[in-house]
Amino acid sequence: MRIKDCNNRDISFIKEVDEKIHKSQDKLNAVVTFCNVDEQLKDYHVEDTALLKNVPVILKDNINTKGTRTTASSRILDNYVPVYDATIVKKLRDAGAVFMAKASMDELGMGGTNLNAYTGKVNNPWDLKRITGGSSGGSAALVAAGLAPLAIGTDTGDSVRKPAAYCGVIGLKPTYGRISRYGIIPYASSLDHVGLFTTNVEDAAIALEVLSGRDDHDMTSSNRPVENYKELLNSDLNGKTIGIIQNVQSAIQNEAITSSFDALVKKLEEKGAKVVSVEFDQDLMNTLLPTYYVISNAEATANHSNLDGIRFGMREEGDDLTSIMINSRTKGFSSEVRKRFVIGSYSLFVENQEKIFRKAQRVRRKIVEHLDEKLEQCDILLASAAGSIAPYPEDSFGDKLSATHLVAENHMLLGNFSGYPSITVPSDMVENMPIAVNLLGKAFDEVTVLSVAKAIEEICAQDDVCKEVCE
């Protein structure tokens, strides 16, 4: 489904989409809460030129919607109904969006599988037995199944770009500060980004324009002017230098993914791009994941201390304040989330702060400085988005991978450490499942990121939806 096709439809088609999304639930389990579509259509009125006129949109369930339950897929927020809208909800609505559903995610964004929502696993529309990836798995699945042209996600480590790869859709994480995060239930504030899923690059450009801009409610949002990304798209590769991240490519063990990537690189060269090989310091790359875990868990621990059954969240009984909090948090969070809070608290413990938390922050700085050096050699970096097709649940934890091989699965963290824009573009099919490549550009250079993505899209010409679930 494409945005412009929706623009040209009669608004009544939204009802058909609503029915299809309800029907998909048995197969995909991608929805936590259905939005009240009738209510939104009652007084629906937007200008003909509104960019999202008649467009059904999916929101990840960590995006606050006034009057509509927002759980972040956590049991503790099962009954949470926000009293205000996130800024992006207002922006989307003003542009004509009709909200269809709050999509399932890994609990509070903590996970890369979408096996960790209190409403259960989300199934990949290409093969229901496989995972979607996470944490924005519900959003990715619904776009991949052709049930909406646009879904909003969030990305703290790769949570838009990895599920996009596994589900065969576009996944864009723009520059830190480009899109307001006001009204989004956080995970780790220095790494959290709003991102989006579409079926094609042009739609990603349109959606980015709608979502971007300074917001006085979010002091991390940038006041750089928003560009007309769609008009500026230019898939001409002449004069562009693309750097291939060798550390990622040499860590990939799947022959089909490697040869498809190499074939794509050849075509990029034929189309005029200058391709250079970029080698990162391997030791530094091996620290990506541990550094991420220290920083993200510490920030998550601080961010979620208000989910205690007193200020927010479901309340379990107890004899005193402390036991109410302990009981509420024990019952309200899954073991994965509790584990991360333990790790986070440990590194924030005063005796450990310097040698764990501050050290991780210094390593993050080193990684970003190293990345900046690499980006001096090229306009954009390119690598396979993931080292495999979407795995089955039992194969999805990567615990058999060595540190070097883990780099293939976690290189997208570079985009969160630096805040630089990054996009996943479907590139091919392997074993009837989509595979993808990922681009990482310079700060606020969304135009180059989207333009090179468009060139790749033209070369690869992937089918943009998974037909079966959509029928």
Burial class (CB within 10 angstroms; exposed 0-12, middle 13-18, buried 19+) of 345: middle
Q: Which residue has the tokens 């790749």?
A: 456
Q: How far apart are CA 17 and CA 23, in angstroms?
A: 10
Shortest distance in whole angstroms from residue 442 CB to ligand GLN: 21
Of 158 and 203, the one with the shorter C-beta distance to ligand GLN is 158
Please say which residue, 2 or 193, places its beta carbon nearer to ligand GLN: 193
At what angle are helices 87-94 and 201-211 packed, to 10 degrees?
110
SS3 call for 218: coil
Q: Which two tokens stand for residue 164?
A: 């996009």
Q: Which residues pair with 438 in a beta bridge?
A: 383, 424
Residue 8 CB, nearest distance to ligand GLN (Å)? 35
Binding site for ligand GLN (CB under 6 A): 109-112, 135, 155-159, 187, 296
Complex with ligand GLN: residue 82 or 112, whichever CB lies closer = 112
Closest distance between ligand GLN and the C-beta of residue 104, in Å? 13
Cα angle 292, 293, 296 (rounded to 5 degrees) comes to: 75
Query: Smallest gap, in angstroms, from Cβ of residue 10 to ligand GLN?
Result: 37
What is the rounded (10 degree) CA torsion for 356, 357, 360, 366? Answer: -120
User: Judged by CB, which is closer to ligand GLN: 73, or 427?
Assistant: 73
Q: Which of 352, 359, 348, 371 is nearest to 417 (CA)?
A: 371
Neighbouring-strand partners of residue 275 = 242
- 78 burial (CB, 10 Å; 0-12 / 13-18 / 19+) is middle
Which of 139, 296 has the CB closer to ligand GLN?
Answer: 296
Choose among 110, 208, 284: nearest CA to 453. Answer: 208
Q: Residue 289 Cβ, how far from ligand GLN at the closest point, in Å?
A: 9
* Backbone φ/ψ region at 431: left (φ over 0), alpha (ψ -120 to 50), beta: left
Our CB check for ligand GLN shows the closer of 95 and 122 to be 122
Nearer to ligand GLN, 260 or 422 (CB): 422
Selection from 145, 163, 172 nearest residue 390 by Cα: 163
Cα 156 from chain centre = 8
Catalytic residues: 60, 135, 159
Q: How far is the CB of 18 from ligand GLN (least distance, A)?
A: 28
The answer to whether the CB of 135 falls within 8 A of the CB of 152 is no
**CB of residue 219 to ligand GLN, shortest distance in Å:** 22
Kindly tell me the burial class for residue 350, based on how many C-beta atoms sit within 10 Å of its own C-beta (0-12, 13-18, 19 or more). exposed
